[in-house]
Amino acid sequence: GAVVSQHPSWVICKSGTSVKIECRSLDFQATTMFWYRQFPKQSLMLMATSNEGSKATYEQGVEKDKFLINHASLTLSTLTVTSAHPEDSSFYICSARDLEVGRGYTGELFFGEGSRLTVL
Amino acid sequence: GESVGLHLPTLSVQEGDNSIINCAYSNSASDYFIWYKQESGKGPQFIIDIRSNMDKRQGQRVTVLLNKTVKHLSLQIAATQPGDSAVYFCAENRGGSYIPTFGRGTSLIVHP
């Protein structure tokens, strides 16, 4: 299957600093990527949909000025957590849809390995 | 609405047993369902999917059953192995959307 790579896999930062997480589709092009957040023992919560060449679409309750998303190319989306605070500590997961897999209108979503953010 | 749980239900089975993981979904307009497996510290991995015009689909050692009448989905794993230990999430695509909404998740523990 298609591969989605995230970097870094884990990061520790001080409160008030900004952290950038990269999501790359390695062997396919993704016009749309998705960013999820997952707290311990909880489900994945969709944060935003990243659209190549246009603004991201944020879910209700997600601060767009705090979680900056840039989708500059067909294979790269970045999530920047600005002025991070301890409550932003979480597991951030991106996914991308490969329209060529042949699953009809849905396409199959491929997930990255996740990035664990710890804010001290 | 979204299904988010503070405590994951847990299913413990012995190696070689069959496992059944259940999921209730909320939206009758959902037309596509997916089961994902998530190992500790990793991203979700696709297992099997099913469309709403089907009630059963089989894969390798896995079977998904869909009961639209009661909005219930199940994942059956045959001859469960220790490598199957993980958290399993059901996800639903609501009609017209290709973005899955994840359910609460069930932690499967397989004892050798």
Q: What tens digit of pLDDT does each residue of A83-104 get?
A: 999 999 999 999 998 766 544 4
Q: Which of residues 30-49 of A touch B (CB under 8 A)?
A: 34, 36, 41-46, 49
Residue of A1, A49, A93 lying closest to B99 (CB–CB): A49
CB < 8 Å to A34, chain B: 99
Nearest to A41 among B7, B100, B102 (CB): B7
A97 touches chain B (CB under 8 A): yes
B92 strand-pairing partners:
B33, B101
pLDDT tens string B37-92: 999 999 999 999 999 999 999 999 999 999 999 999 999 999 999 999 999 999 99
| Cβ contact, residue pair A109, B32, below 8 Å | no
Of A43, A17, A41, A21, the C-alpha closest to A33 is: A21
Give the residue from A8, A12, A69 showing the smallest Cα distance to A36: A69
CA B54-B56-B18 angle, 5° bins = 160
Residue B60 in tokens:
């390798």
Tell me which residue in B7, B43, B99 faces A113 most closely, judged by beta carbons: B43
Do residues B100 and B93 make contact, with C-beta atoms less than 8 angstroms apart?
A: yes
Percentage of chain B with pLDDT > 70? 92
